[in-house]
Amino acid sequence: MKTLLSEQQLHDGVQRMAREIAETYADRHLTIIAVLTGSLVLVADLIRLIDLPMRLGVISASSYRGATTTRGELVINAEKMVDIADRDVLLVDDIFDTGHTLVKVMEKMQDHGPTSLRSAVLLRKAARQEVDYTPDFIGFDIPDEFVVGYGLDFEDLYRNLPSLVALEPIDLVQHHAD
Ligand code: 5GP
Ligand code: MG
Ligand code: MG
């Protein structure tokens, strides 16, 4: 495994995102919707750095994919989401890769009539974007590698790693031997 972002770098990036978000929503109430499960660690850190009246809800989006780049069908579940009608809403996800996931979740949320809808992602992969949409807040641009840690998984493992690491082919062999 190769460390791409250390705990300190992640902390600094999240602090910068929090500052930008706090400035954008100054004097307003904010509703944050976390896209499960990958954004959990980011959201936990981020919301404690934003001093605004805030509501927090979750939405789940699963595309059933592993380290490969094949995209499965996206299943969105908004049942546990807090009420976002007439609210300033910020959708938070872990990573913007092709962008299809974020765009589909944003479309689903627009149906609920928020006053405003923006997005924040911890990571964006270079040269992978396939949609005509750019997240409003971006923590880091990273190279096109499969990353885990700080909430991101491979087959539901590694979410608890405190830093962000790139999985290499040798790691995958090892992973399947465990
Ligand atoms: P997109 O729809 O933007 O192509 O894919 C976004 C979703 O794919 C992310 O929310 C994440 O679940 C998954 N994904 C994309 N790239 C990576 C990666 O490098 N590592 C991990 N763990 N998940 C990724
Ligand atoms: Mg995701
Ligand atoms: Mg995943």
Task: Point out the ligand nearest to the CA of residue 76.
Answer: 2
- Interval 127-172: pLDDT, tens: 899 999 999 999 999 999 999 999 999 999 999 999 999 998 888 8
> What's the CA-to-centroid distance between 137 and ligand 2, angstroms?
16
- Expressed in angstroms, the distance from the first to the final Cα of the chain is 15
> What's the CA-to-centroid distance between 26 and ligand 1, angstroms?
30
Residue 114's pLDDT is what? 98
pLDDT for residue 70 is more than 70: no
Residue 175's pLDDT is what? 84
Residue 71's pLDDT is what? 61
Choosing from 45, 93, 94, 97, which is the catalytic residue? 97
Count how many Cα atoms sit within 13 Å of the Cα of residue 6 in the half-sphere of its side chain. 2
Residue 64's pLDDT is what? 64
Query: Per-residue confidence at 80, pLDDT binned at 50, 70, 90?
Result: confident
- Interval 18-68: pLDDT, tens: 999 999 999 999 999 999 999 999 999 999 999 999 999 999 998 765 555
Specify the fold of 7-142: Rossmann fold (3.40.50)
What six digits make up the tokens of 178?
A: 């465990």
Residue nearest (by alpha carbon) to ligand 1 atom 9 = 95
Indicate the domain borders of the chain. Answer: 7-142
> What's the CA-to-centroid distance between 174 and ligand 1, angstroms?
21
* ipTM given for this complex: 0.96
Per-residue CA distances from 51 to 22, 54, 82 (Å): 7, 8, 20
Cα 60 to Cα 62: distance, rounded to the nearest angstrom: 6
What six digits make up the tokens of 13?
A: 């990036």
Atom of ligand 1 nearest to the CA of 61: 10
- Interval 86-139: pLDDT, tens: 999 999 999 999 999 999 999 999 999 999 999 999 999 988 999 999 999 999
Residue nearest (by alpha carbon) to ligand 1 atom 12 = 38
Pocket test for ligand 1, best of 1, 2, 43, 95 (most atoms within 8 A of CB): 95
Residue 93 annotated among the catalytic residues of the structure = no
Q: Could you give the 3-state DSSP secondary structure of residue 57?
A: strand
Q: Indicate the helix (H) or strand (E) that contains 96.
A: strand 88-96
